[in-house]
A and B are shown apart, each in its own frame.
Chain A
């Protein structure tokens, strides 16, 4: 019961870890390269969820400071640092996805397949 309560209290972090493992499994077990990239994106999303949930503070508003509220802002608004970190993460995630998809397109033009098993086969035969 204690454990269940603890898990419910940390539901966002728990969801993030489940998503992370889902993405990791997708990344490792899918044979199609595009699906691997999708797995990577699921992992990214889990990290963003974890970071964003760590920045939230019960009963406080989004960090857009209203006029004249600057003095007591620390008690009124949530933590802006994780939001900034998530922004960085999203940009890097987009860049990595674009780059890997471009690589996959290149691989497809070269070998005519994006299936990892067939690729291993073809590369071994080339050696």
Chain B
């Protein structure tokens, strides 16, 4: 600090006494050299007699004007930035390998090994499934944990434990929403769901169990199954859904799914090689099903929490 000169309006103004050798130097040079600390909030540290006018009064009009100014400049700045970014991207893009080029650096020995060794070592014809559940299994385990944590945080944010947590306003809103729920359901939706939901579940199971030998796998199957449950709940209401998907089932399935995955993959890593080679072919299916369960519960849980604040 060390400088007790009179408060300045402009912190960058020339200060003749700033430098030790008597030469005139700009405050900016002093600041860069580290000889000087800027007091940008000088208005707050002014002497008492200068503080007659109130400083911290909330001036709504002035602030609104400032905000308008800020957002005007902000729009221009962001638009300019995005335009520059687009030019840079286009420049980079034309140096990338040509689309569909088999000699591209991404097509090196790694995918070749996954494709030729994968079906033999893991017993899964689908190279993507084989890759994500065995060679890149840690990555997929982390992914499942991300889903689990996302659902947990959504639960923390949106869950209503009991009525006491709610404000009176929220309680009336909730009662209103419950009253607005139609007693007679939409005929078209009910009839269509009656036909569609079994097929959606069947297709979901097919994708789940066929993930080893055809396109599919736990993630896509979980999404399809949860779509089926969501449609069912839309058509037949939450009471009907709770017969097979209440909170206890929900928590059990998603926790057990993640635990199965962690235990199986831990076993896969830690087991000796000769046991592993026998096991690998049988490991993908249980892991696949576990992931499917986790994804299904997560998707449905997020939907239910957003709709009603509880599972």
Binding site for B on A (CB under 8 A): 3, 6-7, 9-14, 17-18, 20-21, 24-25, 28-29, 53-60, 62-67, 70-74, 76-77, 79-84, 87-88, 90-92, 94-96, 98-99, 101-103, 105-106, 109, 117, 120-121, 124-125
Contact A62 B215 (CB under 8 A): yes
In the assembled complex, the Cα of A9 lies from the Cα of B149 at a distance in Å of 41
In the assembled complex, the Cα of A13 lies from the Cα of B132 at a distance in Å of 25
In the assembled complex, the Cα of A94 lies from the Cα of B140 at a distance in Å of 15
Chain B residue with Cβ nearest A80? B127
B128-161 near A? 1/0 per residue, CB < 8 Å = 1001100010011001001101110110011000
In the assembled complex, the Cα of A102 lies from the Cα of B170 at a distance in Å of 16
Interface of B is mostly: helix
B102-124 near A? 1/0 per residue, CB < 8 Å = 10101100111011111110000
**Given that A56-B100, A77-B127, A102-B154 are contacting pairs, would A25 and B79 also be in contact in the complex, using a CB cutoff of 8 Å?**
yes
The smallest beta-carbon distance between B55 and chain A, in angstroms, is 14
Contact B90 A14 (CB under 8 A): yes
In the complex, whether B187 has a CB less than 8 A from a CB of chain A is no
**Given that A7-B94, A10-B96, A74-B112 are contacting pairs, would A21 and B119 also be in contact in the complex, using a CB cutoff of 8 Å?**
no
Query: Which of B78, B104, B107, B128 is in CB contact (< 8 Å) with A63?
Result: B128
Query: Which of A56, A63, A91, A95 is in CB contact (< 8 Å) with B99?
Result: A56
Contact B85 A14 (CB under 8 A): no
**Given that A28-B78, A91-B143 are contacting pairs, would A99 and B154 also be in contact in the complex, using a CB cutoff of 8 Å?**
yes
In the complex, whether B180 has a CB less than 8 A from a CB of chain A is no
In the complex, whether B302 has a CB less than 8 A from a CB of chain A is yes
Contact A57 B102 (CB under 8 A): yes
**Given that A65-B115, A117-B71 are contacting pairs, would A12 and B99 also be in contact in the complex, using a CB cutoff of 8 Å?**
yes
The smallest beta-carbon distance between A125 and chain B, in angstroms, is 6
Shortest 9 CB-CB contacts between residues of A and residues of B: A95-B150, A58-B100, A17-B89, A74-B112, A63-B127, A73-B115, A6-B94, A102-B157, A80-B127
Residues on B with beta carbons closer than 8 Å to the beta carbon of A17: 86, 89-90, 92-93
Contact A79 B85 (CB under 8 A): no
Chain A residue with Cβ nearest B146? A95
In the complex, whether B305 has a CB less than 8 A from a CB of chain A is yes
Which residues of B in the span 294-311 have a Cβ within 8 Å of any Cβ on A?
299, 302, 305-306
The smallest beta-carbon distance between B307 and chain A, in angstroms, is 11
In the complex, whether B63 has a CB less than 8 A from a CB of chain A is yes
The smallest beta-carbon distance between A71 and chain B, in angstroms, is 6
Residues on A with beta carbons closer than 8 Å to the beta carbon of B151: 98
Contact B114 A81 (CB under 8 A): yes
Known contacts A57-B100, A106-B157; 7 additional CB pairs below 8 A are A9-B94, A25-B78, A64-B126, A80-B127, A84-B132, A98-B302, A99-B150
Residues on B with beta carbons closer than 8 Å to the beta carbon of A55: 106
In the assembled complex, the Cα of A41 lies from the Cα of B143 at a distance in Å of 18
Residues on A with beta carbons closer than 8 Å to the beta carbon of B126: 63-65
In the assembled complex, the Cα of A109 lies from the Cα of B214 at a distance in Å of 45
Residues on B with beta carbons closer than 8 Å to the beta carbon of A82: 106
Query: Which of A21, A72, A88 is in CB contact (< 8 Å) with B143?
Result: A88
Chain A residue with Cβ nearest B75? A29
In the assembled complex, the Cα of A75 lies from the Cα of B72 at a distance in Å of 55
Contact B214 A81 (CB under 8 A): no
Contact A21 B111 (CB under 8 A): no
Show 11 A/B contacts (Cβ-Cβ < 8 Å), sorted by A: A10-B93, A10-B99, A14-B90, A54-B104, A57-B102, A57-B104, A64-B125, A64-B213, A65-B115, A92-B146, A95-B149
